[in-house]
Chain A
Amino acid sequence: MTQADAMKGSAAQAEPMIAMNHVEKWYGDYKALTDINLSVRKGERIVLCGPSGSGKSTLIRCINHLESYQKGEIRVSGTKVDDNARTIDAVRREVGMVFQHFNLFPHMTVLDNCMLAPMRSLGAGKAEAEATARQLLGRVKILEQADKYPSQLSGGQQQRVAIARALCMKPKVMLFDEPTSALDPEMVKEVLDTMIGLAEEGMTMICVTHEMGFARQVADRVIFMADGAIVEEATPEAFFSAPSHERTRKFLGEILRQH
């Protein structure tokens, strides 16, 4: 390696995977995000929690520009997320997203769900896309369902397919928006286990979830939001044992009572 390469390498490492600086977002007159500052390093696992309506979904949806923001700046591995179609393309290629309601395409088999975007968006060949899809369906332990349609799978299975589908794009970051909230309790574990596996392999992840066991096990940082702002940010140990804000304590009390 030349010295220049080495410098590039270290510069890439210093560059955060996701950087949000003073981000503000309005829905019309309603301010949904207030002065969001967040930096996520490569390989870091973030759990984002907070009461309903606090802006968690809005925050992660700004990262892949499903929502636009009005102030501040978001960068994904150096690329500034703005309204430019080309940068949106570049960013979405790096960022995978998993939704609460899975959002699998009902008219395609599991395998076709996984092959669609690599072929249409990355221009992968059919054989290549299928090999990748099968490999990743195997990884989420659902390869034997490859030829079924989404409606023929359980919620937990559908969510694992959704994870595999996102991974087929070989993203550098994965965003999860309450991936287990719509699941029957007995299916939560299979999805969390899949996410834990992904975390252990070093995927950079931001997970909106109220699964506090998951947060304890894999999160490097837990972020608590309320009213569109980040209220508290701490390691899981500190977050659960000694939350510093009254709102966090109240929220944790409610969450623990529910579980």
Chain B
Amino acid sequence: MNYKLDFTPVIEGLPDLLAACLGTFALALGGMALAIVIGIGGVILRDSALAPVRWAVKAFVELIRNTPFLVQIFFIYFALPLAGLRLDPTPTAIIALGINGGAYAIEIIRGGVQSIPKGQIEAGLALGLHKGQVFRLIVLKPALRAIFPSLTSQFVLLTLTTSICSAISAYELTSVAQQIETSSFRSFEVYGTITVFYLVISWVMMRFFGEITRRYFSYPVK
């Protein structure tokens, strides 16, 4: 092999790459926050008294889970302006990530909610709490605890999916790496470096979720 490694362009681009990592975190955290809201909201609507609402949630989940993320993000990026809503790539990416992650979160959180014994809900109702209070105060925390490992994997996946948002030039690590690669032709060095960066980012995310588990879900169970 007579390929000569040259990390000079990577080293020169390091400040940009590190800054882009923050962009990646911003996309990931923004996407997750939206996904959690969609996930919890979707779980509530999924059991709505109104049949069309239940169908709409089911259809949404099926649509998102059975189509590629790249197509979804292009669709949102190019379709929203037709609907009169013009957004920058980065907010668009957060919305796309949130919608995609939200569809998976609905199914995951729903599994957690269904794992809660009916007796818990009945005890809450018998104590005079309303349905919404029962969900919020009694069901939600143990349900999230039960599925938090799955939710963590899903959200690590969402974090890595941010890289696809380079397709619409959202500000994140892969986009910036592509720019450096385009101007330097140092593909191996550039992508080798960001591979390591992504590993670290995943690890940070797992630590982050581990910390949430430790703080919020650490009540003892038998």
The B interface, classified by DSSP as helix, strand, loop or mixed, is: helix
Contact yes or no, A103 B129, CB < 8 A: no
Shortest A240–chain B CB gap in Å is 31
Which residues of chain A have C-beta atoms less than 8 A from B220's C-beta?
A: 149, 151-152
User: Does A242 reach chain B (CB closer than 8 Å)?
Assistant: no
Contact yes or no, B221 A122, CB < 8 A: no
Which residues of chain A have C-beta atoms less than 8 A from B211's C-beta?
A: none
When C-beta atoms are compared, the residue in chain B nearest to A151 turns out to be B222
Contact yes or no, B119 A92, CB < 8 A: no
**Which residue from B127, B138, B222 sits with its C-beta under 8 Å from A165?**
B127
User: Does A228 reach chain B (CB closer than 8 Å)?
Assistant: no
Could you tell me which residues of chain B, from 155 to 212, have a CB within 8 Å of some CB in chain A? none
Which residues of chain B have C-beta atoms less than 8 A from A117's C-beta?
A: 124, 127-129
**Which residue from B125, B138, B221 sits with its C-beta under 8 Å from A151?**
B221
Contact yes or no, A96 B119, CB < 8 A: no
Shortest A133–chain B CB gap in Å is 13
Contact yes or no, A106 B219, CB < 8 A: yes
Most buried by B among A97, A99, A107, A166: A107
Contact yes or no, B122 A103, CB < 8 A: yes
Contact yes or no, B126 A92, CB < 8 A: yes
User: Does A25 reach chain B (CB closer than 8 Å)?
Assistant: no
User: Does B142 reach chain A (CB closer than 8 Å)?
Assistant: yes
CA distance A116 to B133 in the complex (A): 10
When C-beta atoms are compared, the residue in chain A nearest to B140 turns out to be A107
Contact yes or no, A93 B128, CB < 8 A: yes
Classify chain B: how many residues form its interface, as a range.
20 to 34
Which residues of chain B have C-beta atoms less than 8 A from A92's C-beta?
A: 125-128
Which residues of chain B have C-beta atoms less than 8 A from A95's C-beta?
A: 126
CA distance A106 to B129 in the complex (A): 17
User: Does B54 reach chain A (CB closer than 8 Å)?
Assistant: no
Per-residue CB contact flags for chain B residues 40-82 toward chain A (1 = under 8 Å, else 0) read 0000000000000000000000000000000000000000000
User: Does B120 reach chain A (CB closer than 8 Å)?
Assistant: yes
Contact yes or no, B128 A66, CB < 8 A: no
User: Does A121 reach chain B (CB closer than 8 Å)?
Assistant: yes
**Which residue from A66, A101, A120, A169 sits with its C-beta under 8 Å from B133?**
A120
CA distance A95 to B128 in the complex (A): 9
Check A116/B125 contact, CB under 8 A, given A103-B119, A151-B222, A152-B220. no
Contact yes or no, A107 B119, CB < 8 A: no
When C-beta atoms are compared, the residue in chain B nearest to A101 turns out to be B119
Which residues of chain A have C-beta atoms less than 8 A from B14's C-beta?
A: none
User: Does A128 reach chain B (CB closer than 8 Å)?
Assistant: no
Check A97/B126 contact, CB under 8 A, given A106-B221, A151-B221. yes
Per-residue CB contact flags for chain A residues 34-78 toward chain B (1 = under 8 Å, else 0) read 000000000000000000000000000000101000000000000
Most buried by B among A99, A120, A152: A120
Which residues of chain B have C-beta atoms less than 8 A from A121's C-beta?
A: 127-129, 133
Shortest A166–chain B CB gap in Å is 7
Most buried by B among A96, A103, A104: A103
User: Does B123 reach chain A (CB closer than 8 Å)?
Assistant: yes
Shortest B64–chain A CB gap in Å is 30
Shortest B220–chain A CB gap in Å is 5
User: Does B87 reach chain A (CB closer than 8 Å)?
Assistant: no
Contact yes or no, A107 B142, CB < 8 A: yes
CA distance A221 to B130 in the complex (A): 34
Contact yes or no, B126 A96, CB < 8 A: yes
Q: Give the B-binding residues of A (Cβ under 8 A).
A: 64, 66, 89, 92-93, 95-97, 99, 101, 103-108, 116-117, 120-122, 149, 151-152, 162, 165-166, 169
A-B contact pairs, 5 of them (CB 8 A): A99-B119, A99-B123, A103-B123, A169-B127, A169-B128
Q: Give the A-binding residues of B (Cβ under 8 A).
A: 117, 119-120, 122-130, 133, 137-138, 141-142, 145, 219-222
Nearest 3 CB-CB pairs, A to B?
A: A103-B123, A117-B127, A121-B128
